[in-house]
Structures are given as C-alpha cells and as structure tokens.
Structure 1
Amino acid sequence: MNETTSAAAISSAAPRSYTLWQLIAYFLRLGALGFGGPVALAGYMDRDLVERRQWFTEADYKEGLALAQLAPGPLAAQLAIYLGFVHYSFLGATLVGLAFVLPSFLMVIGLGWAYTHFGGLGWMQAVFYGVSSAVIGIIAISTWKLSTKNIGKDKLQWAIFAVAAAVTIITQSEELWLFLGAGVLVWLLRAPPKFIKPSSTLHSSAIPLLALLGLSNVDWTKLWQITKYFFYAGSFVFGSGLAIVPFLYSGVVKEYGWLTDHQFLDAVAVAMITPGPVVVTTGFIGFLVADFWGAVAAALATFLPCYLLTVLPAPYFKKYGKKPGIVAFVDGVTAAAIGSLAGAVVVIGVRSIKDVPTALLALGTAALLWKFKKLPEPIVVAAAALIGLVVYPLVTRS
C-alpha cells in the first residue's frame, strides 16, 4: 500500500483536546481576520488546527476538504462546518458555521450601509488595488504549503494535482467530474474492490443596526425572490466561493437587474477586502437590493444548502472514512482539490495583477510570508491596503 495512503488509513479521529467554545472562538477570529479567500482559509485551518494545536488529524482535515469539494457551496465554510461536526456533531457544525460567517457578514452590512448612504465607496477601488495583489501572494504560499504537506512525494497524486490545475486554468472553473474521477482513479489503483482482480498494471460596527431592523417597509415579494435565487446559487454552484461570482453576475445584473455592472464590481471588491468566506458578498448584494433583511435573506439562503450538504453526509464520512477504499478515494479528491486551488491562484492572479506595482506587491507578499513564517496575514493585508490608497491615485492619474 502507498506510504501516503497507509498514513491516512492508520490515522483515526484525534482525541478531543479542546472545548466547543475554544473552537467557536477560533472560527470567530478566523472569520474576522482570515484574509485570502478559500485557498488561504483552508490553509489556515490546516496550519492552526492540525499542525499547531493538533485538535484534528490529517484524516479529519482531508475528509472535510474532500466533502467540501464534492458538495456545492463555498469550500471554506463547508470545511469549517465539517470540522465543527467531527467532535461536537450537529451542534458543533451549526455553531462553528455561524461563528465563521458572522464577523464578515457584519462587516459587509456596515459597508453596505456606508455604500448606500454616501453614494458609493470611491476609496474601495484603491484598497482593492493593493489588497487583491497581496492576496495573490497569500494564497500562493497557502497552496504551496497545502500541496507539499498533503501530497508529499506521491507521484500519482502529483499527476492528479497537475491535471486539475491545468483544467482549472484552461476552463477557469472547478469541475465536479474531475474530483469524482480523481477519487475513483486512486480508489481503483490503491484499494480496488474485490470484484476487480488486481493486475500488474494496477499497482504502479457602531452602525445603528436597530434602525435597519424594521419590517414595516419590507418588500416581501422581492425578499422572496432574493431567497429563492440565492438558495439556488448555494445549491448548484460547485467549487470555491469565487466560483459563485460569475453565476451571481448573470442573475443579479443580467436577469433581475438588481445591480448595475459598477455596483456588482464593488460588491466583489467588498468580498476581497473583507476577511472570512468570499461568498459573504451575497450579504452585501442583498443589502443593496433590499436593505438589512435583503442581506439576511441572501446570506442565509446561500449558506443553508452548504450547511445541509455538509452535515447530512458527515456521519457517513466519519463512520466509513477509515476504510481503505474510502481513504484512497479521499486521497484522489484531495489531490484534485488542491490542484484546482493551485489553478485558481493562476486564474485570480491573471485578473488581479494588472501592472508593475501589483506584480511587485504579490511577489513581495509571497516573499515576506516565505521568509517570516509567523508574520500575521492581517498585518500584510493592512499594509497592502495603505499602499493601494497611496499608489492607486498615482497609477490612474498617469
């Protein structure tokens, strides 16, 4: 049996060495300070909860990552929900999911209030100019760490990684068939079912929120439209939180006309300059369409399918996850998932790096995080935002 597979198979659920409130506190902090989108957030969870604190085993993490890739919805949120389930069942999954999403949701509510009351946020583009470049460096380092740690020297998984990265770059999307195919391939090669005979070929804010809570002026028809649309988006869009962006554009701009192109781009910018899961941009969009309750409806409708499609299969993942066939399947999905995340780095990088200053910011961020491994990412993001505020007016003026 392959060395990587053997290690995963031997690993069992880590003993519970933490309280539920400690886990909730961690995800509150990650939701408030975790920049970089799904790739970076998944990397932080691996670094903090598996490597440093050892609250979870590698097998726990890989099972969660595999399930998050196979089910529709935002990857980072699903991974967090699964980790909450591992030792604290449905209560843990529910509270962890809420803790992870709540900080960034409150932030986008605040930004939505400022946006609507002050006629847009001109400074946002300047901040986004700096932050989006630094984010490329952050997710590049996170992807490298995830790749080397979870794949190691496994040649088959590196081949799957390369194919998944190439497909993601070429198609600019994350394909479900690729994850399923990778899982089945490794299962058949590493732990084939008994009916297949093995052969030699098979072994190679202070914002007055109370004033926003009034229900007297709610447009219930529009609120129902928002709920239906975002529930559909959360149920059928696979991949990272970024995968939902083009889907949302076709709906909220083209189909319903709720936002203009400019407003939609500002919503994406809000997603990138706020910590936590990128898909919380749905809350900002909902606020622009129908104020506070629009934000609540959009966010809840987006995350509910993600929650259900994580906690419902989770017991079966935990019960059967140590069987050799399941371990091999998860190994294949994990390799494809990390390869797809690496491809996403290239796709996002091409879109975000527009000139010499942004290229230097991305490279500088990666170099700093490589050299100073304990440098807090929020400090890097804050510095990049300040640089953006200074450099962006100079670049646009020239």
Structure 2
Amino acid sequence: MTDIHATEPATDPRGDTPSHGIPFREAVRVWARVAALSFGGPAGQIAVMHRIIVEEKRWIGETRFLHALNYCMLLPGPEAQQLAIYIGWLLHKTRGGLVAGILFVLPGVATIMALSWIYAIFGNVGAVQALFFGLKAAVLAVVLEAVVRVGKRALKNNVMVALAAAAFLALFLFHAPFPLVILGAAVIGYFGGRAKKASFLAGNGHGKVGGNQVADAETALGEGIPAHARPPLSWSLKMGGVFLVLWLTPVLALLAVFGPGNVFSDIAVFFSKMAVVTFGGAYAVLAYVAQQAVDTYRWLKPGEMLDGLGMAETTPGPLIMVTQFVGFMGAYRAPGTLNPLLAGTLGGLLTTWVTFTPCFLWIFLGAPYIETLRSNRALSAALGAITAAVVGVILNLAVWFALHVLFGELHQVRGFGMTVDVPVLSSVNMASLVLTLGALLAVFRFKIGMIPVLAACSILGMLFGVATGSV
C-alpha cells in the first residue's frame, strides 16, 4: 500500500500543511464540496462525509469517524454539522473546525434565505401554492420513513419501545414540554445504565456508516492522537468562553434594548433554548418548534411549517435550517418600524446565529475529553434512552403533520388532563391523500430516494394546480 504520508511534504514554508500532510487549502475545498452535496437530512449528510473524508480521501479511518459521530450524538444540535466541526478541528485545529462548520451551513443559509424571500413575496401566487402543496405530501412520507429508520436502530428491546411510546403519548395527549420528555428519558437511561440493567446497555448509535471499512492506520491521520487534540484545560475554557459570548451577546443585547415580547427578543430566546435541547436531530424537535411557532408566537400558519420543511429537505445543509424560515416569517409579519423584508432577513439570520453558534461551543469545549465520555457506561445508556424517546417524538411530528396535510378542519377533544386534535373526516383533502399514499409507496415499497420523491410530488402538485385552475 502506498504510504499516504509520503505523497506530500510534512511541512510547508507558509505553515499550510501540518505533519499529517493534508494542506489546509485542500481541506477548505473538500469541506466546500461536502457542504454542496449535503442533501437528505443528517443520515445523508453523514454518509456524504464518510464517503469523501474516509473512503475517498482516507484522511481518517472508520473507527475514528464513528468515535467522533458517537460523541456528536451525545450533544444537542445538528449532529452532522458538529461532526464536520469535530473532524475539521481534528485535522487543522481551531481554524479547521471553524471552516468545516461554517461551510457546512453556508449553502443552506443562502438558499433558504432566497426561498424565504420568494415565499414572502409570491407565497399567495397559485404556482407557488401548488408547488408546496405537492411538497407537503412528500415531506410527510419522509418523516414517516425517519420514524422507521430511527426505530430500527433504537428500539432494541421492550424497554426502549416503552420509552418511545411514553414519549409519544406525553407529547400527543398531554402536550408535555419537549425538553422535559428528553430530560426524563436521559435520567431513566442514566440510572438504568448505572444499575447495569441489560435493557439499557444494548448499545446505540449509528453503527456502520459506509460500505468500505478503512482502518485508522491506513489514513493520513493514523492511529495516534494529534498533539493539538490534547490541549490543556485552559484552551477548552478559553474557546468555550469565546463562543458563549458570541452566542449570548446578541440575545442579551436584544432583551436589554427591546425587552421580552419583541419579535427579535422572542426569536433570540426561543431558538437559543432550542440549541440546548435539540437532542436526536432535527426531526425530534420540529414538532415542538412548529407548535410554538404556530400556536404560541403566531409566526406561522400550520401549513407554512410544512412549506419550510420542504425547503429545508430540498436544499443543502442541516435540516434544522428550517428554523431560519421560521425566524424570517416571524420577523416579516411583525417588522415594527423596519421594512418587512429587511426585518425578515434579520430575523432569519438571528435564528441561524443562535441555532448554530452553540455547535462550535460544544465541540471546542468537549471534544478533547471525548474518550472519557465514550467510556462512561451511564452516559451511553442515557444516549440510548434519548434515542428511543426520539422515535416517539418523531412519530408525534408525523401525526401532527399528517393531520394538517390531509384534513382541512380539526377540533379539540379535552378530558382527563388530555387535549387531542381530532380531524373532521368530511374535511379530508383527497388530492393530498392520493399524493401522500403515492409518496409512501415510492419510499417504502420501491425504495426511491428522497430527492426524486420530493421532485415528483412537486411536479404533480403543479399539474394538479393547472388542472384545477389554481395556477
């Protein structure tokens, strides 16, 4: 086998190439490529990273990749972006993590912002409505597929199934706060792990990611840990402090200037809280975001959350980027003295800032201590319990979306402390039902990929609009 370390000089006169032989300039190009190809939610994005970083470039090996991924699974926020930050940091220190993390979200920021402008300006145009009518059916199928995919990985025994069921019922029947559901699952898993209960120690995580197994010894980084990956505690505290200030300064400034109740203050505080509790990926928290954005803050109408999710599914970058659309529309509809589009742009960028800046904090603060976390049996059990609860959370999201996609009218039934949204059967949208069934058939029966399903449903939605005269 060719010695990968011999293909490039160990040092560079300008300091561009570290000892492992990977020039920083090349890493920037590769991370830009990863970002441009990061479609399909976290599973697709992680697969793209694995194919390029592990299989093609052989910069790190399979074991190290999964090691980093399992650590990111412990963290709140988008695990795929955090994985990019971690690997970038591992290869090129702080600047590597910054470049990898920023590039990972940059295409999504630009495209979601452009689509938000189009939606705000032309949202009532028949062609736009027909396009998103088709997207909603496909998105529902994608979310249901996520329930099945995560369930197969997480529900390894009856205890995990019970946790998923309890999470679903707590959210669907009792509208329990999402953070409380996740915290409850984590506590149960933690103590189950400490008690060495077999049901909580069955293993978790993603398992094998790619088709080709690449040993760490065969890669540029090798098996050893780079010196910069073992910084002193002072470095971690310094970096943590810097990103904590970057994250919270705009939040505190908005609260000081405008006070609570202002749309920008509400956006900053709400999505900062989301950055702390979004365990389990975007699907797990979207139902809570949707309910708060629609019912509490009145930033969106129910169908508009699905429109935003359709945008995020069809653009590169983390799925949680849908929050930028939520922030945009919230500020657009309550602009104060600002131009609505300017207010929407500022609201969207503020949302993105408080959603993604904490990701750098978690990685730079905690990555050097990943080995300690990985070997902790109780923490691993807590992660497994959270992942099981996430199945119930995503199922709640799927049901919430289905009710609003398929039925034009819902009424609430209350009793015994429960509040249930019950559809009015006569309000069923037959066209949406047919499209949804077709999307489900394509995803589950014929295993067609997400992007073709989204594209086909969008086209069919447009054709339906033409046929009914709404376009």
TM superposition score normalised by structure 1: 0.69
What residue in structure 2 maps to residue 106 of structure 1?
110
2:172 to 165, 169, 172: 169
Distance 1:305 1:120 in 2: 30
Contact 1:133/1:352, CA 8 A, preserved across alignment? yes
> Structure 1 residue 396: deviation in Å?
8.9
Matched residue SS, 1:321: helix
Question: Which of 229, 239, 243 is the aligned partner of 2:266?
Answer: 229
State the 1:143 CA deviation.
2.3
Partner Cα separation in structure 1 for residue 201 and residue 70 of structure 2? 23
Displacement of 1:141: 1.4
Aligned to 2:33: 25
1:127 aligns with 2:131: yes
> How many residues matched?
335
| 1:361 to 2:365 alignment | no
Work out which of the two has the higher radius of gyration on C-alpha atoms and give 1 or 2: 2
1:321 to 362, 373, 388: 373
Q: Secondary structure at the match of 2:394?
A: helix
Amino acid at match of 1:133: A
Residue aligning to 1:83: 83
2:189 corresponds to which letter in structure 1?
V
Q: 1:233 to 1:309 in 2, by over 3 A?
A: same
Query: 1:175: how far off?
Result: 1.8
Q: Which residue of 1 aligns with 2:163?
A: 160
Alpha-carbon distance in 2 for matches of 1:176, 1:164: 11
Give, in angstroms, the shift of residue 273 of structure 1: 3.3
Give the Cα–Cα distance (whole angstroms) in 1 for the partners of residues 177 and 87 of structure 2: 30
1:324 deviation in Å? 1.3
Q: Does structure 2 retain, via aligned residues, the 8 Å contact 1:85–1:311?
A: yes
Contact 1:187–1:329 (CA<8 Å) still a contact in 2?
yes
Which residue of 344, 347, 369 corresponds with 1:298? 347
- Contact (CA 8 Å) 1:242, 1:279: kept in 2 or not? no
Residue aligning to 1:331: 384
Cα 1:201–1:388 shift into 2, 3 Å:
closer
Paired residues of 1:112 and 1:287 also in contact (CA < 8 A): no
Q: Deviations over 1:311-342 (max 9, x none)?
A: 33334362532111211111111211232112
Change (3 A) 1:187 1:381: same
1:344 to 391, 397, 415: 397
Give the direction of change, closer, same or farther, for the CA distance of 1:357–1:236 in structure 2 (3 Å limit).
Answer: same
**For 2:182 and 2:266, how far apart are their aligned partners in 1?**
26
1:391 equivalenced with 2:464 (yes/no): yes
Contact 2:37 2:48 in 1 (8 A): no
How high is the sequence identity, in percent, across the aligned residues? Answer: 16
Could you tell me how far 1:21 is from its partner in structure 2?
4.3
1:153 is paired with a residue whose SS is: coil
Query: How far is 1:116 from its partner?
Result: 6.0
- Is structure 2 residue 281 aligned with structure 1 residue 281? no
**CA drift at 1:97:** 4.5
Change (3 A) 1:46 1:362: farther
Deviation of 1:99 (Å): 3.6
Matched, 1:142 2:150: no
Say whether 1:184 aligns with 2:257.
no
Pairing 1:370–2:444 present: yes
Q: What stretches of structure 2 of length at least 5 have no aligned partner?
A: 1-19, 56-61, 203-256, 279-284, 313-318, 408-428
AA in 2 matched with 1:321: L
Kindly indicate whether the alpha-carbon contact (under 8 Å) linking 2:141 and 2:439 is maintained by their aligned counterparts in 1: yes
CA distance in 2, matches of 1:236, 1:310: 13
Offset, 1:137: 0.9
| Residue aligning to 1:209 | none
Mean alpha-carbon deviation: is it higher for 302-311 or for 180-189? 302-311
CA contact (8 A) 2:154 2:160 kept: yes
Alpha carbons 1:115, 1:121 under 8 Å: kept: no
Query: Please, what is the CA RMSD of the aligned residues?
Result: 4.0
2:254 — aligned with what?
Answer: none
Q: Taking structure 1 as reference, are residues 266 and 166 closer, same or farther at Cα in structure 2, changes over 3 Å only?
A: closer
More helix by share: 1
1:252 Cα deviation from its structure 2 partner: 6.2
Question: Which is worse superposed, 383-392 or 99-108?
Answer: 99-108
Distance change in 2, residues 1:235/1:273 (3 Å): same
Shift in alpha-carbon separation, 1:366–1:187, aligned structure 2, 3 A? same
Cα distance change on mapping 1:227 and 1:360 into 2, 3 Å: same
- Secondary structure of the corresponding residue to residue 173 of structure 2: helix
Greater mean deviation of Cα atoms: 378-387 or 306-315: 306-315
TM-score of the aligned structures, taking structure 2 as reference length: 0.59
Give the aligned residue type for 2:83: L
CA distance in 2, matches of 1:66, 1:266: 32
Listed one character per residue, the Cα deviations across residues 58-79 of structure 1 (whole Å, up to 9, x for unaligned) are 55445434422xxxxxx5xx32
1:271 maps to amino acid: G
> Comparing both chains, which one has the higher relative contact order based on Cα–Cα distances under 8 Å and sequence gaps of 6 or more?
1
Distance in 2 separating the partners of 1:153 and 1:115: 42
Does 2:293 correspond to 1:248? yes
What's the CA shift for 1:136?
Answer: 1.0
Compared with structure 1, are the counterparts of its residues 187 and 273 closer, same or farther at alpha carbon in structure 2 (3 Å cutoff)? Answer: closer
Give how far 1:178 is off. Answer: 1.9
Task: State the partner residue of 2:213.
Answer: none
